């Protein structure tokens, strides 16, 4: 994909910064803003250094108002800019919900293509960082179910960079959810130059024959640990990183399940009406006759993510995934 590019070790945070930096340098219509995004560089330091480098008109602080942030981005996009906005935490996107569902997702359809909204709404999601309420949720379904949006979740620094560049280059509105739990936990060699990863395509991370495991974001690392446990047990599991939540790459999943006959879906968000439900329904539609066991969901409780002292109850451990794998294989 990127022949001969220099590599650099990056965290997910650095990969996101790098993607923004590259695109800001390359395309003068790109602006990025949000609460504390400018001077401070964001509460997770994702935009650190970018204001100094690209100027105050391109990287800046906004007033504290999420509907204002997304809504002005919609206006900018209609006027020809390509805004990338940051919502500070997953739990603080909701004030912007009307602008997202009624406008960011729909202007192109409403105007029969006259106006586009090439914008990215990025925010950290997920638990595991000992945070207050509203800071730990995984509500990707709320976006993925909305016609007109695409939802992307990277799981590694490499993917974060390549997917974010694709998201910024997309002419559609992209919800870009960053697994904050592993913001700095994973370091990986990433090409220094620009590259893209297609939106809507899952990736088979490791091949296996007994069972397919689908996960994304911070759950990939946990799933990999679970696969190691399973392997010791003689179970050969295939791991698929979904990468995009909508549109789902049903083909890749179907192909895998055709081979393994069994499927475990892992995600942090609530079980009921969760991503696993949709994958379960799709797989049934696509490869019903190959299914040797019901799809197993290893997913969040239908509860609010507890405050830190209770979070271990909620968070999905490698063991719990492994448990799900066993359940599926032994069905």
Ligand X SMILES: Cc1ncc(C[n+]2csc(CCOP(=O)(O)OP(=O)(O)O)c2C)c(N)n1
- The residues that are catalytic are 135
Interaction partner, residue 72 (a copy of itself, ligand X, other proteins, none; CB < 5-8 Å by kind): other proteins
Dist. CA 236–CA 225, nearest whole Å: 13
Dist. CA 258–CA 242, nearest whole Å: 17
Interaction partner, residue 130 (a copy of itself, ligand X, other proteins, none; CB < 5-8 Å by kind): other proteins
Q: Where in 45-74 is the site for ligand X (CB under 6 A)?
A: 64, 66
- Report the residue from 5, 130, 209, 303 that binds a copy of itself according to the rule CB under 8 A: 303
CB of 192 to ligand X, least distance (A): 33
CB of 110 to a copy of itself, least distance (A): 7
- Report the residue from 52, 110, 312, 313 that binds a copy of itself according to the rule CB under 8 A: 110
Angle at 205 between CA 201 and CA 207, to 5 degrees: 115
Please say which residue, 7 or 132, places its beta carbon nearer to other proteins: 132
How many other C-beta atoms are found inside a 10 Å radius of the C-beta of residue 107?
21
Q: Supply 259's token pair.
A: 């081979």
Is 323 a binder of a copy of itself (CB under 8 A)?
no
Q: Where in 222-281 is the site for other proteins (CB under 8 A)?
A: 246-248, 250, 271-272
The DSSP line for 142-159 is: HHHTSTTEEEE---SHHH
Please say which residue, 167 or 190, places its beta carbon nearer to other proteins: 167
Least Cα distance to 87 among 56, 131, 42 occurs for 42
The piece of 4-12, 71-79, 188-196, 255-263 that touches other proteins (CB under 8 A) is 71-79
Please say which residue, 58 or 108, places its beta carbon nearer to a copy of itself: 108
Is 138 a binder of ligand X (CB under 6 A)?
no
Angle between helix 157-169 and helix 12-26 axes, rounded to 10 deg: 30
Per-position x/- string for 21-50, each x denoting binding to ligand X as judged by CB under 6 A, each - no binding: --------------x---------------
DSSP label at 257? Answer: H
Non-local (6+) Cβ contacts of 310 within 8 A are none
Q: What are phi and psi of 251, to 5 degrees?
A: -65, -50
- Report the residue from 129, 131, 229, 277 that binds a copy of itself according to the rule CB under 8 A: 277
Q: Which three-class secondary structure state does DSSP give residue 296?
A: strand
Block residue for tokens 């559609």: 172
- Report the residue from 102, 206, 236, 255 that binds other proteins according to the rule CB under 8 A: 102
Do 60 and 37 form a contact (C-beta atoms < 8 A)? yes
Residues that bind ligand X in the complex, under the rule CB under 6 A: 35, 64, 66, 88, 92, 95
């Amino acid at each position: 994909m990127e022949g001969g590019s220099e590599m650099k070790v990056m965290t997910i945070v650095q990969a996101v910064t790098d993607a923004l930096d590259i695109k800001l340098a390359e395309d003068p219509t790109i602006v990025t803003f949000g609460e504390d995004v400018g001077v401070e560089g964001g509460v997770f330091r994702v935009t650190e250094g970018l204001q100094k480098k690209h100027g105050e008109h391109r990287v800046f602080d906004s007033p504290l108002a999420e509907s204002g942030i997304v809504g002005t981005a919609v206006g900018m996009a209609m006027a020809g800019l390509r805004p990338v906005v940051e919502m500070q935490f997953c739990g603080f996107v909701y004030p912007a919900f009307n602008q997202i569902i009624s406008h960011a997702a729909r202007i192109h359809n409403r105007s029969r293509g006259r106006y586009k909204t090439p914008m990215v709404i990025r925010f950290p999601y997920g638990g595991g960082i000992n945070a207050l309420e509203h800071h730990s949720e995984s509500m990707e379904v709320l976006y993925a179910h909305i016609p007109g949006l695409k939802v992307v979740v990277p799981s590694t620094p490499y993917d974060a960079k390549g997917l974010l560049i694709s998201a910024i280059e997309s002419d559609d509105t992209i919800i870009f959810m960053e697994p904050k739990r592993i913001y700095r936990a994973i370091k990986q060699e990433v090409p220094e130059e620009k590259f893209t990863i297609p939106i809507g395509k899952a990736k088979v991370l490791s091949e296996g024959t007994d069972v397919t495991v689908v996960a994304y974001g911070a759950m990939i690392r946990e799933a990999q640990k679970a696969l190691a446990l399973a392997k010791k047990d003689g179970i050969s599991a295939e791991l698929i990183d979904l990468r995009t939540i909508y549109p789902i790459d049903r083909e890749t999943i179907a192909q895998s399940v055709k081979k393994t006959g069994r499927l475990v879906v892992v995600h942090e968000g609530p079980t009921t009406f969760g991503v696993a439900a949709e994958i379960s329904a799709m797989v049934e539609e696509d490869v019903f006759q190959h299914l040797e066991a019901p799809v197993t969901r290893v997913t969040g409780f239908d509860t609010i993510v507890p405050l830190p002292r209770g979070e271990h109850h909620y968070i999905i451990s490698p063991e719990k995934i492994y448990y799900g794998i066993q359940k599926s294989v032994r069905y």
